[in-house]
Copies of this chain bind each other. A is one copy, B any other.
Amino acid sequence: MNRKEEPLFGLGKQSSDTEHFNGEVYVNEILDFDYPMLADTVTFAPGVRNNWHIHQAGQILLVTDGTGWYQEEGKQAVPLKKGSIVKIPAGVKHWHGASKNSWFTHIALEDWSKGQPEWLGPVAQEDYDKLEDKDNE
């Protein structure tokens, strides 16, 4: 998406979490009731990503709108687009977020029962700046 279109499963509410994201993020909680799993959509403004973090039981991303990136520590960033599925292994340090020029939405599926994510430091701006949107449009 090149502008603030409505994502496939709704935009939801703007997140107040400025600690783990570097900019404007919206969350639509799909499973907003008692369920053994988290399922929500996360929409990132262009250039916005989360900090490096680790999921205790892993996480699944299903990309519904726009283009973005997923990177595991020590590996190349992987470009993501509509239809991409990412299976983030448990215990692996990683980040995900939008490309520079596109809004980006993924569904996130996660087993919360194994504990909260471990949040680490931000993605270095100079590393993010090296990512080439042309590989991802």
Secondary structure of the A side of the interface? loop
With both chains docked as a complex, state the minimum distance between the C-beta of A105 and any C-beta of chain B, in angstroms.
12
Looking at the assembled complex, report how far the CB atom of A35 sits from the nearest CB atom of chain B, in whole angstroms: 6
A8, B64: Cβ atoms closer than 8 Å: yes
Residues of A in contact (CB 8 Å), total 20
Interface residues of A in 34-56 (CB under 8 A from B): 35-37, 39
User: Taking each of A37, A85, A109, which has the highest tally of chain B beta carbons within 10 Å of its own beta carbon?
Assistant: A37
> CB distance A30 to B62 under 8 Å?
yes
Additional 20 contacts, C-beta under 8 A, given A8-B64, A37-B37? A8-B83, A9-B62, A9-B83, A10-B83, A10-B85, A30-B62, A30-B85, A31-B60, A35-B57, A35-B111, A36-B36, A36-B37, A36-B111, A36-B113, A37-B109, A37-B111, A39-B39, A62-B107, A64-B64, A107-B107
